[in-house]
Amino acid sequence: MNRGRFIASAVAVWIVRVALNWTFYTRVIGQQSQQIAAAHPGVFRQVVPGFILTDLVFALAFTFLFVKVGAALGGDEWRG
């Protein structure tokens, strides 16, 4: 796997994680998060960018490990 495919895969994982987090925090527990936001104004302005950055780090680590496992199982090895 070349670097372009690695970065594209990591970005795809990152977008999916951000979309799933958005769905969870707005649709699944939306009412509770609105109550928290009303009780503590501005808290999500500080927390959400941290979640998005953490998702990016997770996406890079997940993609790297996924590529390494694929190579160990006989797939195309990442050659950097």
Q: Is residue 37 part of a domain?
A: yes
pLDDT at 77: 58
Summarised one tens digit per residue, pLDDT across range 4-55 is 888 999 999 999 999 998 898 888 888 888 888 889 888 777 777 888 899 9
Q: Is residue 55 part of a domain?
A: yes
44-76 in b/e burial notation, b at 16+ Cβ within 10 A?
Answer: eeeeeeeeeeebbeebbeebeebbeeeeeeeee
Q: Which of 71, 54, 63, 74 is nearest to 9 (CA)?
A: 63
pLDDT at 14: 94
Count of domains forming the chain: 1
Q: Is residue 32 part of a domain?
A: yes
Q: Is residue 79 part of a domain?
A: no
pLDDT at 27: 87
pLDDT at 78: 58
Task: Say yes or no to pLDDT of 68 above 60.
Answer: yes
Q: Is residue 25 part of a domain?
A: yes
Coil, strand or helix at 29: coil
pLDDT at 46: 74
